[in-house]
A and B are shown apart, each in its own frame.
Chain A
Amino acid sequence: MATKRVAICAVAQHKNDSDLWHKRFQGMLLDVLEELQAQTGFTFDEETGVNTIVSCSDDFFDARTISNNGVTDVLGAQYRGEEKMAQEGLNAVGYAQAVILSGYADMVLVMGHCKESQSESRRMIANMGFDPFYGRAVGLDNLNAAALQARAYMKKAGLTEEHLAGIVVRARQFAARNPYANAREIVEAGKVVASPQLCDPIRQLHAYPVSDGAVGMLLASEERAAEFTDKPVWIAGFANCMDSYFLGDRDLTANFALKQAAGRAYRKAGIADPRKEIDLVEVMDAYAYQQPLWLEGLGLCGDGEGARFLDQGGQEKYSVNLSGGMLAGNPVIIAGLYRAAEAALQLKGEAGERQVPDLHRAVAHSTTGAAGQFHSVLILER
């Protein structure tokens, strides 16, 4: 008998760090797993425990073909079903939800990890995501694809250096209150504006720092959630959308895929007007300019109105990225899982110094592929 609703019962995060050279990613995952077990008391019992694990990792970052094979022991997956979501972490939550809604399992463990510091350069790994015929050869990677998008979007939305600096300054203020964030030092706007150009118009402090991390979540059916938590967070809607692979095919400022994903997720959640029905948003802002761009895509402000949204206090109105966002540092593959983790903690009322009151509904957003080729949107409710 399939359930009607799926709950995120618990979340556990490994602290993000720029260089966890002393720790295997297996060890990071084990810490996360043990914390989840401590929170919920779940077991791996064949009858009543976890028998399905959805993992998230990347072969290139792990430098291992079928990267999940090397971590199954610390996921508790040995002798159980385990499947990998290679694309990005938030999608793993969507996948786990589908597994439970289908009736295949009534509880699913979601476990994601990534160590950006393991390879010589995360940009080389991103470069491998491009076609080997042309894109790689011209040195495309996530950064310079984003910079193309940044310039186009800044022009369209009237976004200035001051806006970008303001986004970074605010992100650090919240990151300082998030014990799991990587870059937690407070910065002044002047320092952001003076930081070196990585890829004009993207400066060093506009870009998320190299990060290692791991995130785990326990999802359960409506019937079983109460066994593991008295504060379940419900998945009200999940959707995703893929845009075209070749950069040149896309209008970089149009948010085509994100609008599709958001529209589908809102419909599933019964949301008619996101501006009136969303209380909190976590967007995957790998670069400062992306925060207002993705907020446009989510329909929280109009097309090309990102700068005005910032000027009019939109970030506080919608409690945007109280975790510090990706700007404070999450590994790219699982930045979406960190977004969902923060949204869930906020709805549970467990967000510590970042907690805002009276939350009912939150959005977690994630993206992968150069300049936002693919987007996922998850709507959570209390």
Chain B
Amino acid sequence: MTEYFGTTVADIFATMPKRFKPEEAKEVDIAIGYEATGEGGGKWKATIKHGTLKVETVEGELTGCKTTIHTDAETFVGVTLGKISALDALSSQKLRVAGDPKFLMLLLPKIFTPYAAPAKKPDAVTARDIIATLAERFRPEKAEGVAMTIGYDLAGEGGGKWTIVIRDGKCAVREGLADPLTVKMTMEAKTYAGMMVGTIEAVTAFTSGQVKIEGDMAAAAATAKYFRKYVVPGATEAEELISLRVTNSIEQRFATGPVMGRWFAGIREKKFLANRCPKCGRTQIPPREICAWCRVRVHEFVEVGPKGVVTHFDIVYFASPDPLTGAVRDTPYATVYVVLDGATEREAITVDLKKEDIPRLKEGARVRPVWAAVTTGSYRDLIGVELDEEEGSL
């Protein structure tokens, strides 16, 4: 059965007896004919007499009706749900009433409780259902000055190809993909539906490759704000809650102190200075006031490195943004765990590996430091490490 606005003409008639208010209809004696044309349409007759209601489907001619409503199935559902104005439908002749329309418009709300589309499970909603609601969810006030065409290529059941045109504060949805497009998004129809009803997280769908975006990425990210959130038919419409976006920033000046400070003084001279526990002998990088294992102050400094060996590494594909600037590091990048020559085995340093070396990175690889052109005693002095292949360890 063809659906409009998430429901069918047949369901509206099927629920009529439940919605009937007999006490309001004691004085009513009327037969109303309905003719809904097109997919999902049909003919129905509702007979109301002294507080009783009889609803029947009619094959052939509608007869014996005091008043008859003629319309297409989509308009009928739209008017019933209040998605389409009855007056507009009447004036545009999409809805015609044989009899007294004013009388009907007063009578029906009195003797029937309003029809609500049946609640749908989120997974029953198709991409097509959702695309069909785009125009009514459009927020012109958010799209002022925006001119763009968004293409959706949604594969599988309930999918299709659509172009959304936003221009001059208006939004139009067209079948097929226009050319050129500002941005084109390709995915499974069920992925799109999942993202819209909230069962699939958009960021995850994108980073896992389920969504392919061609064209202007920023435009793709901005589209959501031009539309009110999609609400599954029958679901309680969520109140739009206001949230605030604030960037908090308080400048800090971190002391390094006389112990950790030696490390930074060291790297300014391109030297790695660890401090050695007098009890267990481990070399702490960065140096700290005490050895937490032995609970003793650590005073002795030793130079370690500058070369070392990679014991573990990871490769970051999805970088976390800088909390203040939002800038994201160039990916992929490798974070390596390096035990510097002369350092005790468990005291590694975690540093970046030169990007070009990532394809040849292996556990056990020898590495050497890469220093900044000018060293100032900052953590930026040590840019990272690079593979040290001269020694032939690979």
Q: Nearest-CB distance from A125 to chain B (Å)?
A: 6
The interface residues of chain A lying within 8 Å CB-to-CB of B256 are: 24
Contact B290 A132 (CB under 8 A): no
Q: Say how far A213's CB is from chain B's closest CB, in angstroms.
A: 14
Pair A133/B244 contact, Cβ less than 8 Å? yes
Alpha-carbon separation in the docked complex, A134 to B256 (Å): 37
With a cutoff of 8 Å between Cβ atoms, the chain B residues found around residue A23 in the complex are 255, 257-258
- Tell me the bound Cα distance from A23 to B295 in angstroms: 19
How far apart sit A115 and B244, CA to CA, in the bound complex (Å)? 30
Interface string of B251-271 (1 = CB under 8 A from A): 111111111100000000000
Chain A interface residue count, Cβ-Cβ cutoff 8 angstroms: 29
**Max chain A Cβ within 10 angstroms of own Cβ: one of B250, B253, B257, B258:** B250
Residue of B nearest to A27 (CB): B257
Chain A residues with Cβ below 8 Å from B292 are 72-74, 78
B255 touches A24 (CB 8 A): yes
Q: B246: CB under 8 A from chain A?
A: yes
Taking CB atoms, residues of chain A closer than 8 Å to B251 are 119-120
With a CB–CB cut-off of 8 A, which chain B residues contact A76?
A: 295
**Cα(A20)–Cα(B254), bound, Å:** 10
Secondary structure dominating the interface of A? loop
Q: Is A2 an interface residue (CB 8 A)?
A: no
Which residues of B in the span 232-282 have a Cβ within 8 Å of any Cβ on A? 244, 246, 248, 250-260
Expressed in whole angstroms, the Cα–Cα distance for A121 and B250 within the complex equals 8
**Residue on B nearest A21 in the bound complex, by CB:** B255
Report the minimal beta-carbon distance from A201 to chain B, rounded to whole angstroms. 27
Chain A residues close to B by CB (< 8 Å): 20-27, 30, 44, 60, 63, 72-74, 76, 78, 115, 117-121, 124-125, 128, 132-133, 136
Given contacts A27-B289, A73-B292, A74-B290, contact A119 B250 (CB under 8 A): yes
CA–CA, A63 and B250, complex, Å: 9
Contact between chains at B289 and A119 (CB < 8 Å)? no
* Residues A120 and B257 in contact, CB atoms below 8 Å apart: no
Q: Collect the chain B residues with CB atoms within 8 Å of residue A136's CB.
A: 246
Q: List 6 A-B contacts (CB under 8 A).
A: A27-B259, A30-B290, A78-B292, A119-B253, A124-B250, A125-B250
Are the CB atoms of A24 and B260 closer together than 8 Å? yes
* Pairwise interchain contact B253-A21, C-beta atoms closer than 8 A: yes
B254 in contact with A118 (CB, 8 Å): yes
Q: Is the CB of B288 within 8 A of A26?
A: yes
Which residue on chain A has the smallest CB distance to residue B288?
A73
In contact, A22 and B289 (Cβ under 8 angstroms)? no
Instruction: Tell me the minimal C-beta distance from B249 to chain A in angstroms.
Output: 9
Q: How far is the CB of A79 from chain B (nearest CB, A)?
A: 8
Name 15 extra pairs, CB < 8 A, besides A30-B297, A73-B288, A124-B250.
A22-B258, A24-B255, A24-B259, A24-B289, A26-B257, A26-B289, A27-B258, A30-B289, A63-B252, A74-B290, A74-B292, A118-B254, A120-B253, A121-B250, A132-B246
A179 to B165, CA, bound (A): 75
Closest 4 CB pairs of A and B: A73-B292, A24-B257, A120-B251, A78-B292
User: Which among A60, A120, A121 has the greatest number of chain B C-beta atoms within 10 A?
Assistant: A120
B103 within 8 A of A: no
| Residues of the B chain whose Cβ atoms lie less than 8 Å from the Cβ of A24 | 254-257, 259-260, 289
Residues of B within 8 A of A121 (CB): 250
Min CB gap A117→B, angstroms: 8
A140 to B244, CA, bound (A): 18
| Distance A219 CA – B232 CA, assembled complex (angstroms) | 60
- On whether the beta carbons of A132 and B244 are closer than 8 Å, the reply is yes
Bound Cα distance A73, B297 (Å): 11
**B177 → chain A, closest Cβ, in Å?**
43
Question: In whole angstroms, how far apart are the Cα atoms of A24 and B251 in the complex?
Answer: 17
Complex formed: what's the CA distance from A115 to B255 in Å?
A: 10
Contact B289 A118 (CB under 8 A): no
Chain B residues, Cβ within 8 Å of A132: 244, 246
| Residue pair B252, A22 in contact (C-beta under 8 Å) | no
Decide if B255 touches A118 in the complex (CB within 8 Å). Answer: yes
Give the shortest distance, in Å, between B73 (CB) and chain A (any CB): 48
Which residues of B have CB within 8 Å of A117?
253
Q: Determine the distance from Cα of A345 to Cα of B292 in the docked complex, in whole angstroms.
A: 30
Once the chains are docked, how many angstroms separate the CA of A118 from the CA of B250? Answer: 10
C-alpha spacing A30/B252, complex, angstroms: 22
Give the Cβ gap from A94 to chain B, nearest Cβ, in Å.
Answer: 27
Query: Contacts of A25 on B, CB cut-off 8 Å?
Result: 255
CB nearest neighbor in A for B292: A73
Interface centre among B244, B295, B297 (most CB of A within 10 A): B295
Find chain B residues with CB under 8 A from A60 CB: 250
